[in-house]
Amino acid sequence: MNKYLAILLTALALAACSSTPSMKDMTIRMGDTDSIQITDMRSLVRNGVLTAQVTILNESKSNLVSYRFKWLGKNGMAVTDEEAWKPVTVGKGQATVIMGIAPTPDATDFRFELNQYK
């Protein structure tokens, strides 16, 4: 009996791990942003509000890009209107940490949107 319970718990743990989206799945790219790499993505709930941190690295020439966060609820639907695009200049070889704080406690997840600055 213990053997079957251990197998079941292992299978559930693996299934939970596989349902976590990757950084690539959590990033939406628009325009020419191929030189910008997402190197780290973290989140935590602080005082009941989701806070996100994304680290980007520019591997090419100095680049001006824009970004925004899309805040999602438990059901995967957007909980707020779209944010305005925020520009950021990332020098060649430079890493930049971008922080976002959900505007509502209803947000339980996010997507990071990256766009060529226009």
Predicted confidence (pLDDT) per residue in 49-81, tens digit: 999 999 999 988 878 999 999 999 999 999 999
Is the model's pLDDT at 95 over the cut of 70?
A: yes
Q: Mean pLDDT for the chain?
A: 86
Q: Which of 67, 58, 73 is nearest to 104 (CA)?
A: 73
The number of CA neighbours under 13 Å toward the Cβ of 12 is 6
Domains of the chain by start residue, with CATH: 22-116 (2.60.40.3230)
11-49 pLDDT, tens digit each: 444 444 446 788 888 999 998 898 999 999 999 999 999
Whole-prediction pTM:
0.79
pLDDT band at 93 (very low <50, low <70, confident <90, very high): very high
β strands within the chain, DSSP E: 27-30, 36-46, 49-58, 63-72, 86-90, 95-101, 109-116
